[in-house]
Chains A and B, each alone.
Chain A
Amino acid sequence: MTDFAAHECENGHLTYPAHTRCPACGRPQTGRIDLSDRQAEVVTWTTVMASPTGVREPNTVVIVEFTVDDRTVRAIGSTTAGVSIGDTVRPVHVEQLRDPSAAIRVADRQSWSGYRFEPVD
């Protein structure tokens, strides 16, 4: 199953996705905090009605914010249903997010599975 984690440097800065060096301080990222079992808040959303080849249409996409201790880290992803700003969502694993055979990007270049966000009642 695809990894969904925030990455932590020696100084405690969090990022998603991982970076070779921490964008905030330049130190290596050595820690990993699993986000797949946490809830997040919707920062903003859009529903895209003109998707590229191999992508579902309509495609609702969100930026969400996780709180980890006293820190926050954001992520982007598609959703399983409609959402509003401020809604609480949780990650749900999806085996194939888009059709790699229809994408310009080489299929072996990246993962095509990942997590969509599902509203929490």
Chain B
Amino acid sequence: MDVAVIGAAMTPFGERAAWLDELLSTAALDCLADAGASTGAVDHLYVSNMASGEFEGTTGVMNALAADIGVTPAYTQRVGQTSASGGAGLYAAWQSIASGASELTLLVGGEKMTHRTTGEASDIIASLTHPVEYSHGVTLPSFAGLVARRYMDRFDVPRESLAEVAVKNHANATANPDAQFRKAIDTDDVLSSPVVADPLRLYDYCPVTDGAGALLFCPAAVAEQYTDRYVRLSGVAGGTDTHVVHERAEPTWMGAVAESGRQAFEMAGCEPSDIDVAELHDMVTLLEPLQLEALGFADRGTGWQWAPEGRTTRDGSLPVNTSGGLKARGHPLGATGIAQAVEIYRQLLGEAGGRQVTARRGLTCNVGGFGNCVTTAVLEVDG
């Protein structure tokens, strides 16, 4: 059964006074309004979230949201797959519709993080690591530093090329009213910012963010009963890599990205060259070129060339992270995979405002851990 996305919404990302429950309900109701659907029609409600228990001391967020917005007695489920929870939510929502179990599925994802210090937030996220990693204080930014040095050494990559990813994504975010950072930067800003994990610096990394996003799904055959503005979720698949990062044969190769991408392309019946716009998981600048390579857009060891050559800017051959990406739109863990799809939905429907590109097929890639678990999705419009 073909699955349609008939509504999309997100809260502004950044430092928000609201707690998670309010962020989720705001995104949920805005999404239903976007599709012209009522709360009473929702059969399934999925809530993507990594760590509300650790961040806020609040669990059971799916039940709380269902009751708060009036979708009871709909089936509810929390979807947790660390920072890929949003992408995993896309997969769960697709399964619910494609299986025939639900006629209308609401997916909402969010995280409230900024009330924690950076050290506390970093430790909560690092709790996904193996004990042999955690005991040495290894964090997700640490993996990025280790792999960046390996990538630069192995493929003779200039440090400036990674900075160009941050510059491009910040430029995109200046045209996104929901982005956390709407400030243009240059390579000097990146290369003079404080070191986080050598050779990577503060402006290579995404910020700590509060925010939520939502998507509404139904069978494509009935989408026009709700709206004539909809997209099809034509491909979605997930993959998993090792838990312990050093066990990968080559740490610069994102195996779960490659596997989820291969399956998503196969399901959608298309190839990388058919994609017009992509939202990639740039938790750190390094990950954008690594995903370009693993998804088959770029040859191995050449992904770093794409940002400096302008191939991923809005007027390039493959615009990447038109929203500003995790780097500048922000990265509220459970919301990110959904916010990526919100951006593609808006791009495909011509509703992306000042950052609009020409596109009929788009891709999202949402990464958990340091490539540990990944969901890739292909969305498209007819014509």
Pair A48/B196 contact, Cβ less than 8 Å: yes
Distance in Å: Cβ of B253 to nearest Cβ of chain A? 14
Of all A-B residue pairs in the complex, the 7 with the closest CB atoms, nearest first, are A46-B145, A55-B137, A52-B123, A110-B131, A44-B150, A47-B198, A52-B122
Residues facing A in B109-133 (CB within 8 A) are: 117-120, 122-124, 126-127, 130-133
Interface residues contributed by chain B, number (CB under 8 Å): 42
Distance in Å: Cβ of A29 to nearest Cβ of chain B? 13
Pair B139/A109 contact, Cβ less than 8 Å: no
Give Cα A110 to B153, complex, Å. 34
Distance in Å: Cβ of B201 to nearest Cβ of chain A? 9
Pair B197/A52 contact, Cβ less than 8 Å: no
Pair A98/B146 contact, Cβ less than 8 Å: no
Q: Does B349 contact A (CB under 8 A)?
A: no
Give Cα A95 to B247, complex, Å. 25
Distance in Å: Cβ of B247 to nearest Cβ of chain A? 7
Instruction: Identify 22 residue pairs between A and B in the complex whose beta-carbon atoms are under 8 Å apart, listed by A's number.
Output: A17-B244, A23-B242, A43-B150, A44-B146, A45-B146, A46-B142, A46-B197, A46-B200, A48-B142, A50-B118, A50-B122, A50-B196, A52-B123, A53-B120, A55-B137, A59-B142, A61-B138, A61-B146, A63-B251, A98-B135, A103-B134, A112-B135
Q: Does A56 contact B (CB under 8 A)?
A: yes
> Which residues of chain A are near B117, meaning CB under 8 Å?
53
Give Cα A98 to B126, complex, Å. 14
> Which residues of chain A are near B131, meaning CB under 8 Å?
17, 109-111
> Which residues of chain A are near B70, meaning CB under 8 Å?
none
Residues facing B in A57-84 (CB within 8 A) are: 59, 61-63, 74-78
Distance in Å: Cβ of B345 to nearest Cβ of chain A? 34
Q: Does A85 contact B (CB under 8 A)?
A: yes
Pair B119/A52 contact, Cβ less than 8 Å: yes
Chain A residues near B (Cβ < 8 Å): 15-17, 23, 43-56, 59, 61-63, 74-78, 85, 97-98, 103-105, 109-114, 116
Query: Which of A50, A104, A110 contacts B135 (CB under 8 A)?
Result: A110
Give Cα A16 to B244, complex, Å. 9
5 A-B pairs besides A61-B138, A76-B136, A114-B132 with CB distance below 8 A are A52-B122, A52-B126, A52-B137, A103-B134, A113-B135
> Which residues of chain A are near B132, meaning CB under 8 Å?
16-17, 75-77, 114
Query: Which of B139, B146, B194 contacts A52 (CB under 8 A)?
Result: B139
Pair B119/A97 contact, Cβ less than 8 Å: no
Given contacts A17-B130, A98-B135, A105-B127, contact A49 B251 (CB under 8 A): no
Q: Does B5 contact A (CB under 8 A)?
A: no
> Which residues of chain B are near A50, meaning CB under 8 Å?
118-119, 122, 141, 196-197
Pair A97/B146 contact, Cβ less than 8 Å: no
Chain B residues near A (Cβ < 8 Å): 54, 117-120, 122-124, 126-127, 130-139, 141-142, 145-150, 153, 194-200, 242, 244-247, 251
Give Cα A110 to B246, complex, Å. 19
> Which residues of chain A are near B122, meaning CB under 8 Å?
50-52
Query: Which of A56, A76, A114, A116 contacts B246 (CB under 8 A)?
Result: A76
Distance in Å: Cβ of A117 to nearest Cβ of chain B? 10
> Which residues of chain A are near B126, meaning CB under 8 Å?
52
> Which residues of chain B are near A16, meaning CB under 8 Å?
132
Query: Which of B134, B136, B142, B148 contacts A105 (CB under 8 A)?
Result: B134
> Which residues of chain A are near B194, meaning CB under 8 Å?
49
> Which residues of chain A are near B147, meaning CB under 8 Å?
44
List the B residue with the shortest CB-CB distance to A114.
B135
Pair A111/B135 contact, Cβ less than 8 Å: yes
Give Cα A102 to B242, complex, Å. 27
> Which residues of chain A are near B150, meaning CB under 8 Å?
43-44
Given contacts A17-B132, A46-B198, A78-B136, contact A53 B141 (CB under 8 A): no
